[in-house]
Amino acid sequence: MVRQRSFSRQTVAVLGVLLHQPRKWRYGYDLSRETGLKSGTLYPILMRLSDRSLLESKWEESPSSGRPPRHMYRLTNAGKAAAREIAAAHSESRHLKEPLGSRA
């Protein structure tokens, strides 16, 4: 079981964005915009996720001539499982924090 406390809030945000469309490859800049994280925060997170085999990456040749290839990212199967666990834990804790009267 993945301990939620082992992931920072920012990492959870990155995992959430990647889990939203788990098959889609994403660029670093797109992740930065979707999570609201700056590159200085995002890249260490991506490095750690990759070190832990939760993230896979590939290079994509740029369609524009003169521009270098771009690195793209998506979750591995282990990454998806970890992200789903964290998402489940989050929704459970949010549910517990809600006042009883607000539950449908």
Partner 1 sequence: MTGRRSIERRIAAGLIAHAAKRLPDDRSVWATAMANEFEHLPDDQSALGWSIGCLFSSYRERIRVMNNQSPLSGWILGLEMLICFVPMTLFGLAVIPALATGSMPIADAMIFCLVAAIGPMGLIVAFRTLVLRRPTSSKLILAAICFFALLPILAFESQQTSAAMGDSWREFLLLAVLPAAGWAHLVYISRCSAQGLTAS
The backbone torsions φ and ψ at residue 60, rounded to the nearest 5 degrees and listed phi first, read: -120, 125
Nearest distance from residue 63's CB to partner 1, in Å? 11
Please report how close the Cβ of residue 101 comes to partner 1 at its closest, in angstroms.
29
Q: Which residues contact 54 (CB under 8 A, 6 or more apart)?
A: 15, 75, 76, 78, 79, 82, 83
Q: Is 77 in the site for partner 1 (CB under 8 A)?
A: no
Position among 18, 49, 75, 83 found at the interface with partner 1 (CB under 8 A): 49
Amino acid at residue number 33:
R
Contact status: 69 vs partner 1 (CB under 8 A): yes
| Separation between Cα atoms, residue 47 and residue 91, nearest integer Å | 26
For partner 1, the binding residues (CB under 8 A) are 2-3, 5-8, 10-11, 27-29, 32, 38-49, 52, 57, 62, 66-71
